[in-house]
Amino acid sequence: MVLYGTSRINERGHLEIGGCDVVELAEAYGTPLMIYDEVLIRRQCRAFVQAFQDKGMKAQVAYASKAFSSVAMCQLIEEEGLSLDVVSGGELYTALKAGFPPERIHFHGNNKSPEELNMALEAGIGCFVVDNFTELAMLHTLAEARKQQVKILLRITPGVEAHTHDYIATGQEDSKFGFDLNSGQALQALKQAVNQPYYHVLGLHAHIGSQIFDTKAFQLVIQRLAGFVQEAGNELGWPLSVLNLGGGFGIRYTREDTPLSPQEYVYALCDGVKQEWQAINQPLPEVWIEPGRSIVGEAGTTVYTIGAHKEVPGVRQYISVDGGMSDNLRVALYQAKYEACLANRMTAERSEVYTVAGKLCETGDILIWDLPLPPVKQGDLLAVFCTGAYGYSMANNYNRIPRPAVVMTRDSEAHLIIQRESYEDLLRLDVPLVSKVTQK
């Protein structure tokens, strides 16, 4: 079994994260419970920043808050000195309420509304990543009405296919994101943008997908963008000061996954940019990245209480837990794979094989197929590792299941950072029926 960050097995044979006994956390906060290892999150932030420093490269590391956004998380990112990438008014609002410095916020998204753009203009955010021609025209009109200069990056679709699940690949030509490079859209957008008086075009952005294990696709993107910069430079005499290469760095969900370290990803990006920019004889741009999953993914663990057991004779044994696709949609959506253990009996021999089902009313609500575990009893605690990215952030209330509580642990202390949703919370927005049926 892979133990991440500060996790260990303590003297009682229990899983411990950040010095806190997970069994005690489950008693104190209930289950399902999400536990974040604060030390591991900070370690990842620092590793990315340090790697750019090692290479002497001007850089910005922006945490992609879509992976997990909350007030406390934004505050931690601010303390670590990173920038923040948001993709909606809601993520922006969370960051602003957390006191995150607006000038370090980058705004993404393929369909930002006028209200969202105005909110970001009003806040004075650092940069907009403009995704399409509709936004290019609309943002400028809004900026002009406010007589406000805005910094932008253009999101480019480089035509590079990342080796990952189809639903999380974004760099291919047929994508809803960005200005396509091959068809000439990107050049057309750039020409338009540099001629708009309220735009300051900082540079280009490309994000090819998520959970990527090697650097080949990134190298190809850098090459394509260098070619574009040369072409655009010749035509427009346009200096590029920022090259944002997105996020997408992989993590180890299971033993089969073999991601690189933050350092290895960053070194490869820096070397690639240096080499390609030398070849086109242009001054080096700042390199920006936007990791999400690789900052929070391995730091998150979800703890469930095991309930029902069912055997399909000769086929499999199901055990059901008190959450499921309401707190982790990734298995149903991407056939994602996870590893797990019994947090209250870490050293017991794993002599059985179970399929872990959620409690939602869907056949596809399975969290893990064929998981070796010790013989389980009702009330045992199942800890699923590596749920820190796109778990809580994609949580939902299907079957009116309240979303879990979230704690962060460090130095043997746990801090609640998101309260468990209550049934009252579920009804907060409901409005009773105004009946038109007359009583007989």
- The residues that are catalytic are 361
Distance CA 371, CA 292 (A): 27
Is 203 one of the binding residues for ligand PLP (CB under 6 A)?
A: no
By CB under 6 A, what part of segment 76-115 binds ligand PLP? 85, 108
Is 64 among the residues that bind ligand PLP (CB under 6 A)?
A: yes
- Restricted to residues 202-261, the positions that interact with ligand LYS (CB under 6 A) are 210-211
The candidate with the shortest Cα–Cα distance to 6, out of 34, 42, 33, is 42
Cα 328 to its chain centre, rounded Å, is: 13
Nearer to ligand PLP, 113 or 397 (CB): 113
**Chain residues 263-302 in contact with ligand PLP, contact rule CB under 6 A:** 290-294
Selection from ligand LYS, ligand PLP, none that 127 binds (CB < 5 to 8 A by kind) is none
Q: What are phi and psi of 151, to 5 degrees?
A: -90, 135
88 is a site residue for ligand LYS (CB under 6 A):
no
| Ramachandran assignment for 298, one of left (phi > 0), alpha (psi -120 to 50 degrees), beta (any other) | alpha
CB 202 within 8 A of CB 153: yes
> Nearer to ligand LYS by C-beta: 69 or 211?
211
Query: Residues for the chain: how many in total?
Result: 440
* Min separation Cβ 407 and ligand PLP, Å: 22
CB-wise, 83 or 211, nearer to ligand LYS? 211
In this structure, what are the phi and psi dihedrals at residue 2, rounded to the nearest 5 degrees?
Answer: -90, 125
Q: Is 330 in the site for ligand LYS (CB under 6 A)?
A: yes
How many CB atoms neighbour CB 438 within 10 A? 5
Omega of the bond leading into 32 within 30 degrees of 0 (cis): yes
Relative to beta strand 15-17, strand 20-21 is: antiparallel
Could you give the CA distance from residue 266 to residue 88 in angstroms, rounded to a whole number?
Answer: 27
Map residues 50-69 to x or -, x wherever contact with ligand LYS holds by CB under 6 A.
Answer: ----------------x---
Binding residues for substrate: 293, 330, 334, 362, 390
In the complex, the residues that contact ligand LYS under the rule CB under 6 A are: 66, 168, 210-211, 330, 334, 390
In the complex, the residues that contact ligand PLP under the rule CB under 6 A are: 64, 67, 85, 108, 170, 207, 210, 246-249, 290-294, 389
